[in-house]
Amino acid sequence: MIAHPRQCMDPLDPGQCEQVYAAALRILDETGLAVLSEEARGFLEQDGARVEGERVRISPDFVERAVARAPRRFTMHARNPEHSVELGADILLVTPGYGSPTVADARGVRREATLSDFDSFAALAGRSECVDITGGLLVEPLDVPAALRPLEITRSLVMQSDKPFFGSVDGAEGARESVELARLVFPDLSRRTVMAGLINVNSPLRLDTRMAAALIVYAREGQAVLLTPGILMGITAPVTAAGAVAQAYAELLGCVALVEAVRPGAPVILGTGGFGSDLRTGGPGFGRPENALGTMLGAQLARRVGLPFRSSGAVTGARLPDCRSGYERMMTAMASWTSGVHLCMQAAGTLDCINSMSYEQFVIDTEIWTYLKRLATATVVDPSTLAVDVIATLPVDYLGSDHTIEYMGSEMAAVALASPKPYDEWIAAGGPDVVAAAAQRMPAAGVASPMGMSEEIRARVADHVAHRRAALGQR
């Protein structure tokens, strides 16, 4: 976790922020949100929304009442209590990639992702000091039948890591699969939040049946619902940043109303994933400046609303770990930190607008977050750190001083990938770049032993997985 800056970046002045918020409320009240699930429409209508066919219109008063029910801060409990995290506190939490169907090598050559890749990335996330929440659909394991994936990914997440995680959102069935397996590890699941479901809105202004069904499952169980509209400027939303964020918040607030209608007090997280786009191709714009701008605007609106906010940070459109990947990732990661984001998703390993995951990039990203963690560390100012007496000795250099030895561990970031070798030694070694250094630091692929899980729970999970595989017609 990374402490927020003393002051968060607000790209809008207070009056502009109120204009955007008012526009979002007007969109939701006058145009409304298409909710394709009859069950979801029933919850909203019972709570006071105006329902006409599939279109649900929600008044500003309804929105304000729903927002007031949602917690401003809440804890996601981990199997290891030391890894429990608080959403909405003055910290940025990091979670890796989500949803990539392929794995890319150091040259950008892609192959289909497998369950073995999923296990390996889950183990990497579980053991990385920079990752706070293991993740969810780290990669799409295409060698596993679709009906079995919710079970297998949840099994991997609870076995390979003792941190909080995301469950499946493959409709109600997938969400229930994740919830029931998690209940084996957390028998008191209904009384505390241990997981989240990432619910995507089909922009513009459309919540489909599958996502609505998953939302209802997680909300009923008191698990976190993480809401993300599919904003692409000029494609699924207005091309203007103000219009795009107004539409995004209409979609977000409409779904907050649904969550709180299902279970008042259920935890919810607002957010934007993509935001910018590439109008040359009609595709997403991960890593573009507009991606970072969407994060800054969205985070400021979230502070206006008073709910936790997520972003996509350390993302890129680059196909391989290269210079473009580096500057796009650092820009989007910095935007997340300086804007006071609470949860940064897709924050390790993703390439090609999150279409691929990369082992080398995952290692590089842990270095990026190490840099940002150092920037976020408060500077200690006291007589000892001011070092006036040390300076008064006029040393030739400070390398051998007791003061340097005392403070170097706390004052200097532990840089792992940047080579300290002099130029001649670096050339003699073949001039390796950061990608080569990352490859050398990658752990062996494969499944690690379950982290801190008792034999009783391990056996319970294994029996459940075997039973469910048989019920789904798989061995």
Q: Give CA–CA dist 252/362, Å, rounded.
A: 30
The residue type of 349 is: G
Q: Which amino acid is at 386?
A: L
> What is the reported pLDDT for 475?
63
Contacts of 252 (CB under 8 A, 6+ apart): 201, 227, 229, 270, 271
Contact present, 150 and 178 (Cβ < 8 Å) = yes
| Cα torsion angle, 182, 188, 191, 194, sign | negative
List Cβ neighbours of 39 (8 Å cut-off, separation of 6 or more): 212, 213, 216
Look at residue 204 and give its three-state secondary structure.
Answer: coil
Q: Per-domain residue ranges for the chain? A: 2-12+67-376
The dihedral through the CA atoms of 413, 414, 416, 418 has a sign that is positive
3-state DSSP call for residue 228? strand
Q: How far apart are CA 55 and CA 35, in angstroms?
A: 6
91: amino acid identity, one letter: I
Q: Do the Cβ atoms of 226 and 197 come closer than 8 Å? A: yes
Q: Which long-range contacts (CB under 8 A, 24 or more apart) does 7-13 make?
A: 8/299, 8/300, 8/303, 8/338, 8/339, 8/340, 9/296, 9/300, 9/335, 9/338, 9/339, 9/340, 10/296, 10/300, 11/293, 11/296, 11/297, 11/300, 12/297, 12/300
What is the predicted pLDDT for the residue at 450? 59
- Return the pLDDT at 137: 95
Strands 102-104 vs 110-112: parallel, antiparallel or unpaired: antiparallel
Q: What is the mean pLDDT of each run of 10 residues along the chain (475 residues)?
A: 94 97 98 97 95 96 96 96 96 95 95 94 92 94 94 94 95 96 92 95 96 97 96 96 97 98 97 91 92 96 98 94 95 96 96 95 94 94 95 91 93 87 92 90 60 81 88 77
The vertex-203 CA angle with 201 and 207, nearest 5°, equals: 40
User: Span 2-12+67-376: which CATH code?
Assistant: 3.20.20.480
Number of neighbours of residue 267 by Cβ within 10 angstroms = 26
Cα-to-chain-centroid distance, residue 337: 13
| Omega before 101 within 30 of 0, i.e. cis | no
Q: Which tokens go with 101? A: 């169907």
* In the block, residue with structure tokens 């984001």: 341
DSSP string, 50-90: EEETTEEE--HHHHHHHHHHS-SSEEE--SSGGG-EEETSS
Interatomic CA distance for residues 128 and 439, integer angstroms: 16
Percent composition of the chain: helix, strand, coil (DSSP 3-state, to 5): 45, 15, 40
DSSP, res 233 = B
